[in-house]
Structure 1
Amino acid sequence: MPLNKIIQEKRKKIGLTQEQIAEYLGVSTPAVNKWERGATYPDISLLPPLARLLKIDLNTLLCFNEGLSEQEVGRFCKEVIDVIRKNGFDCGFSMGVKKIQEYPNCGFLIHSTALLLDGALIMSGMSAGDKQKYDSKITALYERAAKCEDDRRRNEAVFMLASRYKGRGEYGKAQEMLDLLPERSALDKIKLQADLYIVQNRLDEAAGLLERKLLIEINEIQAILLSLVDIAVKEDKNQAASHIAELSRDAAELFELWDYSSYIAPLQVAIAQENVQDSILLLKSILSAASTLWEIEKSPLYRHISVNGNKGKVGANILPTLLAEIENDPKYGYLHLSAEFKQLLKQYRAKCEKI
């Protein structure tokens, strides 16, 4: 909170008028009025008596150690998302940077803003060249968060940096980040917390924790299977790649994931083999799935999960980004001569225009 707001709120809280503050400090009432409007600041010699008068310490008066609560950061992130939707990514990015300048030591804010902007940039549909000017700045935010005192946020930021460096081919830096991360604890806090909720008959809370954990774990398994497909493809082990891809598809169906997840690994194999027919069939399924929201709570496995306070609304806005990738990524180049592929893109471009 800015200095002027601190003075105004604390003055009102203890029931003093601007005139009384001015009288007690030996200044004019207009001077106090200017402090509270942010037009001017108190003289440095007045700060200690002003803090004592307002019954706060200097750190509080000057916001020296002040951060934001998780609730405040959450509200701010929603505001940024709204700004991005209404006014574009650049406006939301500027809003995030300005907030961090106001709270430069709030690791949670810095990391949350970096994650939000990172995701929004991916979904923006910008060209690679346009994304580049923001990408390095988002990396810099992760690097700042990786130095914060909050262990959880620091480790999350370090993990994101490791992933980013790997994606850029900066393998040395990626390894440095990974070496900073602790091994996963053998003690499962989430399971223990859920068991505690169960014995207290707080069943909704227990189920919500366990369902989110299950969703995280199965998505991690899916990520591992995709990496194993990639390895098999690079080893020229096509049969093994196809087998692992089928396991990935079966797992997605078994654990009732979004239909979109079922086709990722098989498509990865079809692309590696440049199999035009299989690729188009799988792209049809993927684009169809991407056009359909995943109603999570309809699955008995995830019926307690709420996404951003709005149950069953996963998958929105992915279609334009997916189309842009299919059209522009060189790995789909072998499909560009196919009339069926061109017709498929045309069909879904038209659908995007109606969204």
Structure 2
Amino acid sequence: MNISQEIRKRRLALNMTQEQVATRLGVSAPAVNKWERGASYPDITLIPALARLLNTDANTLLSFEEGLSPEKNLAIQREVERRVREEGYDAGFSYAREQLRAYPSSDELAITLASYLDGALMLYQVPDLERYRPQIEAEYERLASSSVNAVRDQALTMLVAKAMAQEDCGRAQTLLDRIPEPTIDKQEQQAALYMKQGDYERAERLWETRVTKSAGALIAALSNLSEIALRQGSLDEARDIARRAEPIARACDLPRWMSATLELGAEVAQHDAEATMRLLEEIAASMKHMHVDDIDSPLHRYVGLTGISQLSQQMLALILAEVQTDDAYAFLRQDPALNERMRALINSMQPQDSHPTSI
């Protein structure tokens, strides 16, 4: 994003008109309009006042960083993960903030790091949640007004989920209403254009993304149908629906845990101890041995499963918390033999080389 886009984005976020900005700075409205169109730039003497007016700083306002390359973006993500895993959550969190200050215009990086750090709070059982959670949620709020549609929609989706978790259905609906209905499948048209131009690698990248997202969306739909069946007391139907996810994940070369977690809910609801333990073990093995750099599949040649890897950490955090405290797993904890088996499994699922006490 260049300075013209930065000015426009921040002005709109503050609900200010170009005329209001012009009046505050003592310039004409057409001058502000030219700034935002990139036809001209503010005089250097106006930069400090303009930065203060837009609630930012001169360094951010003057950033001409157009955005990170996919390779640099991925490298930053992996370094944040490494620091959280090996040096503790605070080290990864601090490094992430440094990178966001270095690349203040990269909303794509911001949403990725916010989502990862949000999930890692539970995964690494960070004790001082309120030290970090408000900052992460503030980042979601900021990104909910992003000019990058995909980032905006993901941030809004995260805020909707948090509102629902807090039983604030009114706020959830208000946030949900801000997500626009798609009018055209731009990604599909772009992939078709790349193919027409003979740019097969870029076309394949887009279609790989579509395979992963579509399979994930289908599994999520089955998960919700299974959950509805459970709430209505149709246990056999819930189990039947849940088991349909496995061949979908297998056909798309997705990790086993994605379908196994769906089946887990049905087996837990029916208090099937052996099936529950078997699925927990399959999930643990799948997550433990999932290395995105080792993916060997024609469906993930270029894009890989980085996003799925981050999701697996969030799911692992949820499962670790549930099996230890949720009443749904009480039938396992009450049986001494099963409880011992479950404890050993939990220990094997804990993140390795983590040092939460170093925060």
Q: TM-score, normalised on structure 1?
A: 0.70
Tell me by how many angstroms 1:332 deviates. Answer: 1.5
Tell me by how many angstroms 1:209 deviates. Answer: 1.2
Match of 1:84 in 2: 84
Match of 2:33 in 1: none
1:219 aligned counterpart, secondary structure: helix
Tell me by how many angstroms 1:148 deviates. Answer: 4.1
One-letter amino acid of the structure 1 residue matched with residue 129 of structure 2: K
Deviations 1:57-85 (A, max 9, x none): 41678336234442188365555444433
Decide whether aligned partners of structure 1 residues 109 and 207 sit closer, same or farther in structure 2, where only a CA change above 3 A counts.
closer
Match of 1:111 in 2: 111
Distance (Å, rounded) in 2 between the aligned partners of 1:133 and 1:209: 38
Distance (Å, rounded) in 2 between the aligned partners of 1:83 and 1:214: 31
Match of 1:147 in 2: 145
- 2:239/2:263 contact within 8 Å kept: yes
1:287 aligned counterpart, secondary structure: helix
Distance (Å, rounded) in 2 between the aligned partners of 1:177 and 1:319: 24
Match of 1:197 in 2: 194
1:71 aligned counterpart, secondary structure: coil
Mean CA deviation greater in 100-109 or 335-344: 100-109
Q: How many residues align?
A: 296
Distance (Å, rounded) in 2 between the aligned partners of 1:115 and 1:269: 27
Decide whether aligned partners of structure 1 residues 282 and 341 sit closer, same or farther in structure 2, where only a CA change above 3 A counts.
farther
Match of 1:125 in 2: 125
The match for 1:284 among 281, 284, 292 is: 281
Distance (Å, rounded) in 2 between the aligned partners of 1:214 and 1:350: 31
- 1:225/1:244 contact within 8 Å kept: yes
- 1:326/1:332 contact within 8 Å kept: yes
Deviations 1:126-177 (A, max 9, x none): 36xx435432332122112223444443333212111221122221111110
Deviations 1:180-234 (A, max 9, x none): 110123x222222222222222222211210111101110111111111111100
Distance (Å, rounded) in 2 between the aligned partners of 1:282 and 1:341: 15
Distance (Å, rounded) in 1 between the aligned partners of 2:240 and 2:304: 34
Query: Map of 1:213-224 to 2, 5 A cutoff?
Result: 213-224=210-221
Match of 1:246 in 2: 243
- 1:162/1:174 contact within 8 Å kept: yes
Match of 2:256 in 1: 259
The match for 2:234 among 211, 234, 237 is: 237
- 1:125/1:320 contact within 8 Å kept: no
Tell me by how many angstroms 1:267 deviates. Answer: 1.0
One-letter amino acid of the structure 2 residue matched with residue 217 of structure 1: S
Please give the root-mean-square deviation of Cα atoms over the aligned residues, in Å. 3.6
Larger Rg: 1
- 1:107/1:145 contact within 8 Å kept: yes
Tell me by how many angstroms 1:292 deviates. Answer: 2.1
The match for 1:66 among 62, 69, 74 is: 62
Mean CA deviation greater in 320-329 or 98-107: 98-107
Decide whether aligned partners of structure 1 residues 270 and 316 sit closer, same or farther in structure 2, where only a CA change above 3 A counts.
closer
Match of 1:93 in 2: 93
Decide whether aligned partners of structure 1 residues 330 and 98 sit closer, same or farther in structure 2, where only a CA change above 3 A counts.
farther
Which runs of 5 or more residues in structure 2 are unaligned? 1-40, 49-57, 354-359
Match of 1:179 in 2: 177
Tell me by how many angstroms 1:283 deviates. Answer: 1.8
- 1:307/1:313 contact within 8 Å kept: yes
Which runs of 5 or more residues in structure 1 are unaligned? 1-54
Identical amino acids, percent of aligned pairs: 26
Match of 2:166 in 1: 168
- 2:205/2:302 contact within 8 Å kept: yes
Tell me by how many angstroms 1:247 deviates. Answer: 1.4
Decide whether aligned partners of structure 1 residues 287 and 100 sit closer, same or farther in structure 2, where only a CA change above 3 A counts.
closer
One-letter amino acid of the structure 2 residue matched with residue 121 of structure 1: L
- 1:323/1:349 contact within 8 Å kept: no
Distance (Å, rounded) in 1 between the aligned partners of 2:207 and 2:252: 14
One-letter amino acid of the structure 1 residue matched with residue 91 of structure 2: C
Match of 1:20 in 2: none
Decide whether aligned partners of structure 1 residues 348 and 96 sit closer, same or farther in structure 2, where only a CA change above 3 A counts.
closer
